[in-house]
Structure 1
């Protein structure tokens, strides 16, 4: 079977407290890059590269929220049972503080878990609960794959405001993949543009908004339509 490289010459860094958005058209390699970082994709051909983390950084210091909430829940178990297991095996076992459940749910506009199963919650509610669980682990790096794909703009802005506030409070780094350039420029400090598996641009947000350095960036910026103020006023 013929093979071809999906990602090439990707070189990037993210620092504590920094919010970075990876953007690009469909098929540019955004989600593939994230899944490759976490070993979720096994390449058909041996590749080269390395990932370096800060000294003494453990795997438990990194949290990943997938685009599809189906990968985050057991469909046969009640949500409250899954939360308790999460606290037991991911928080207590790692010596981390267990968050107050109701406080966490309220912060993301979610109701009490009750006796509900995952399928009894909307996809957007499931996605917000996954984000809440990720933040509850007190990560030093939070990785989000299309975090608002199942959310309407108002709920998305509330969720991302909370994530941004937490990032500032805890000096947490945030790496987000999104196809929504407006969302990226609203919440990120730095914009990374992928095009055809290549890193086309790695630019501070202010500079990107004024004058994108790549043709891919210029193309994406034409479709910027995100407006938090308009959404909140609606």
Structure 2
């Protein structure tokens, strides 16, 4: 896998400095007797520079939680805050990487333009947008694809471009919704290692929603396990592996197997 080994100048200063917190979060769709309660009294904290995986039964509300964290959905009760400031709408400090990267990238724009596009809304000068886009593409190992279109790239490369776009926006927190579900196994492993590398180099906080228990343990400092409807936190599993992890050695560690079994047992209850 080709990727830069030194954090780009503009990006290296974006590391997370605040805690992302969820306090008593509840979310329901609809009103009255027909309302569907999805999240109930859910509380958690993501510390600066921490990677947290969120797992749970299918349909438990993981994506709903992620959208509340991003300010894309208003809570029915409770609050989401970054550094003590309530998130009532999307903020620049929190970026989202969606599962469907093929739709999130604009096919008529070249990759560099896709990465730089969100910066236009912040009225960043064109020269700086170009520089930040190039640095962001280099950070995800794609320094030479800026002039190409998304459809000229593989699925894994397109997802890297989507991650680069979130980095370019100077996000301190990356929210990732099943980010590697649509790629093959080897590409998934490469992208998992990319996420770990970005945390090491840039100091960003990362929240990953995933159905893959192995992925949740391999990536995270902590795995948050949700119950079924309505979702609440039933377990918070500390992962003792350090920042340097290996796809073969880490996953062969007996501790990895024990953590995987603990999480699976919680989900299948």
- Normalising by the smaller structure, the TM-score range is 0.7 to 0.9
Q: Does 1:200 align with 2:247?
A: no
TM-aligned CA deviation for residue 198 of structure 1: 2.0
TM-aligned CA deviation for residue 115 of structure 1: 4.8
- TM-score with structure 1 setting the length: 0.74
Structure 1 Cα separation of the partners of residues 191 and 132 of structure 2: 17
Unaligned runs of 5+ in 1: 222-234
TM-aligned CA deviation for residue 174 of structure 1: 0.9
Q: Which structure is higher in helix share? A: 1
In the TM superposition, 1:1-150 aligns within 5 A as 2-41=34-73, 47-54=76-83, 59-89=91-121, 92=124, 98-99=131-132, 101=134, 104=137, 107-108=140-141, 112-116=145-149, 118-150=150-182
- Structure 1 counterpart SS, 2:234: strand
CA contact (8 A) 1:105 1:112 kept: no
TM-aligned CA deviation for residue 181 of structure 1: 0.5
TM-aligned CA deviation for residue 100 of structure 1: 5.9
Q: Which structure is higher in strand share? A: 2
- TM-score with structure 2 setting the length: 0.66
RMSD in angstroms over aligned alpha carbons?
A: 3.5
Q: Tell me which residue corresponds to 1:230.
A: none
Unaligned runs of 5+ in 2: 1-29, 241-254
Q: Tell me which residue corresponds to 2:222.
A: 190
Count of aligned residue pairs for this structure pair: 215
CA contact (8 A) 1:127 1:150 kept: no
- Structure 1 counterpart SS, 2:35: coil
Larger RCO of the pair (alpha carbons < 8 Å, separation 6+): 1
